[in-house]
Amino acid sequence: MTNAPVRIRSVLKDGKVIPPTGCEVIVADHCNIACRQCNHGAPALRKWNAAPQDLARDLRLLARHYRPAFLKYIGGEPLLNPDLPAILCAGREARLCDHHLLVTNGMLLERMTEEVWSLIDELEVSVYPATGVTEQTLAPHRVSAARHGVRFTVNHFPEFRRTFTRQHNDDDALVERVFRGCKAINVWGCHTLYQGALYRCPQSAYALTLAGAEGFDGFVMQERPDFAEQLLTFLNGREPLAACRYCVGTAGRKEAHQIMKRADWIADLDSSAQDALDPGLLAENVVNVVTLDDCKTPDHHLRRSVLKRIIGKLGIRPTRIRKARSRRVDDL
């Protein structure tokens, strides 16, 4: 008899919801490239930038009831948001967590200002083939990271797995299996703050929109007496989401990474869930949900000692001062 897979749940501790890992903050919907099967749907979405004052409000509310291990600022491409420094400042001032992580595709790193560097703890670069991002182009930014005491992480993505479908999946049993085997929901805890609501995963924020379907899978950021208890119930829900009808979770078929024409991107979602799935991976994950993301090939983090050596060789001193900030949320 097969043991039931272990699922990682959020818990309530000292009146606050503690999620499995961190929380994603969507900074921008749009992106400068159109990756095939982008699991945030960026190539099909209109230009949209998060407003600092809106995020500040939502993050302050969350901070009273929710304590993630980190905030991950992501898109789209977050460096396209002209208000990124104010957004990062809002995140730090809300005091949800101590670790702030910015994710970028690495093509616009020249937009990293001194202020942005001073407001993050880690920069994660997602490197895709054919973007021109290489170790040589990243080298000066590694130096900037070292100077500011920021961890510099590089992940290579030579392949993506299919995620979305625009065809309604009316196979209830398959929808249930996709949901139970989804690592985003059951292991990684990819909670996502987006346009005034918290979602259990970024895909549930986008799947219905991409399919032109009705429904809403978010938890609205509105104060209420039992906010923490309701949020916990929402995050630990055991029923598939409406978006699961248009998503294959983390069991999609693997394909080589490709940058597409935006006009062709949405048509690529016309295959059914059955065609988009990797049946063997789904069967494995339903039995034993694993944490591995096998499309990601990470470089090793530069250890703190390595960073110190780099700084020493450069003859510079870290300029990073984490406690003093030039702006406060109340000023946004």
- The domain that contains 217 carries what CATH number? 3.20.20
pTM of the predicted protein model: 0.88
Q: What is the pLDDT of residues 29-75, one digit of tens each?
A: 999 999 999 999 999 999 999 999 999 999 999 999 999 999 999 99
Q: What is the pLDDT of residues 24-41, one digit of tens each?
A: 999 999 999 999 999 999
* pLDDT band, residue 1 (cuts 50/70/90): very low
Examine residue 20 and state whether it is found in any structural domain, yes or no.
Answer: yes
> Whole-number mean pLDDT of the chain?
89
Q: What is the pLDDT of residues 67-124, one digit of tens each?
A: 999 999 999 999 999 999 999 999 999 999 999 999 999 999 999 999 999 999 999 9
pLDDT at 308 over 60: no
* pLDDT band, residue 211 (cuts 50/70/90): very high
Angstrom distances, CA of residue 302 to CA of 114, 249, 325: 20, 31, 26
Q: What is the pLDDT of residues 175-204, one digit of tens each?
A: 999 999 999 988 888 999 999 999 999 999
Examine residue 45 and state whether it is found in any structural domain, yes or no.
Answer: yes
Examine residue 197 and state whether it is found in any structural domain, yes or no.
Answer: yes
Examine residue 49 and state whether it is found in any structural domain, yes or no.
Answer: yes
pLDDT at 244 over 60: yes
What is the domain range of residue 95?
A: 15-160+188-237+291-312
What angle, 0 to 180 degrees and rounded to 10, lies between the N-to-C axes of helices 52-63 and 84-94? 10
pLDDT of residue 8: 81
Q: What is the pLDDT of residues 248-297, one digit of tens each?
A: 999 999 999 999 999 999 999 999 999 999 999 999 888 876 656 666 66
pLDDT of residue 249: 95
Examine residue 208 and state whether it is found in any structural domain, yes or no.
Answer: yes
pLDDT at 324 over 70: no
**Of 244, 237, 271, 241, residue with least CA distance to 174:** 244
Examine residue 182 and state whether it is found in any structural domain, yes or no.
Answer: no
Examine residue 170 and state whether it is found in any structural domain, yes or no.
Answer: no
How many structural domains compose the chain?
Answer: 1
Measure the CA–CA gap between 73 and 6, rounded to whole angstroms.
28
Examine residue 248 and state whether it is found in any structural domain, yes or no.
Answer: no
pLDDT of residue 297: 61
